[in-house]
Chain A
Amino acid sequence: DTAVSQTPKYLVTQMGNDKSIKCEQNLGHDTMYWYKQDSKKFLKIMFSYNNKELIINETVPNRFSPKSPDKAHLNLHINSLELGDSAVYFCASSSTRNTEAFFGQGTRLTVV
């Protein structure tokens, strides 16, 4: 019973391709996030959604488009992948009542 689950866990793709990462949470949370972890392990917010509404877009290139079909899901679509997009992408969720965030297992994206 994974609380926050992402698929796929690993993604290897060529430059220029379009790919998606899916995230689902079963915690009943109303806020979901995408974070990016770079090669130096630094974690930085990309997007946050509250009740399916985009709240934060942290100067992410518009090749990255998040989509929240409902409060339990937040998917990340990436167009025209570049070498610099290689990183680990983490989905997370929290509740506005108790702001403790829980993270998925991460998706390691490698662009070749």
Chain B
Amino acid sequence: GIQVEQSPPDLILQEGANSTLRCNFSDSVNNLQWFHQNPWGQLINLFYIPSGTKQNGRLSATTVATERYSLLYISSSQTTDSGVYFCAVEDRGGSNYKLTFGKGTLLTVNP
């Protein structure tokens, strides 16, 4: 099945800093999503981005489907950005009915 690798596994920032999270995947995808799991355990949709670039406030994401990677940018980080960021993909060649998740990036933003 498709492999999803996220880096870095852990990231510690001071409030106000910028960061880039990376997601590499091993095959063509129909769907790529970024999620934020907050400290209360909720999985919050950030981006649905199988290709191209999107922006939402301080967050933006770019997926280069031909090179099989996606980047999540967080600018001017805030303590509320802390949590685990997951990349998940649905592969084009396999089943269309499941997301395969990466292991996540644990982000800690200190005041």
Residue ID in chain A nearest B90 by CB atoms:
A99
Cβ of A54 to closest chain B Cβ, rounded Å? 10
Contact A99 B31 (CB under 8 A): yes
B33 within 8 A of A: yes
A63 to B84, CA, bound (A): 30
Query: B73-105 toward A: CB 8 Å interface, digit per residue (1/0)?
Result: 000000000001010101000011111110110
From B31, B43, B90, B98, contact of A58 by CB (8 A): B98
A56 neighbours in B (Cβ, 8 Å): 95, 97-98
B41 within 8 A of A: yes
Within 8 A of A (CB), among B26-40: 30-31, 33, 35, 37
Determine, out of A11-19, A42-50, A64-72, A73-81, the stretch whose residues face the partner at the interface: A42-50
From A33, A96, A105, contact of B98 by CB (8 A): A33
Contact B97 A55 (CB under 8 A): yes
Within 8 A of B (CB), among A54-111: 55-56, 58, 88, 90, 92, 96, 98-103, 105-106, 108
A58 to B33, CA, bound (A): 21
Task: Known A99-B90, A103-B43; judge A41-B104 contact (CB<8 A).
Answer: yes
A25 within 8 A of B: no
Between B31, B43, B100, the greatest number of chain A beta carbons within 10 A of the residue's beta carbon is seen for B43
Contact A48 B43 (CB under 8 A): no
Contact B97 A106 (CB under 8 A): no
A5 within 8 A of B: no
From B31, B43, B48, B95, contact of A106 by CB (8 A): B43
Contact B101 A100 (CB under 8 A): no
Task: Known A99-B90, A100-B48, A102-B45; judge A55-B31 contact (CB<8 A).
Answer: no
A98 neighbours in B (Cβ, 8 Å): 48
Between B84, B97, B103, the greatest number of chain A beta carbons within 10 A of the residue's beta carbon is seen for B97
Task: Known A105-B41, A108-B41; judge A45-B96 contact (CB<8 A).
Answer: no
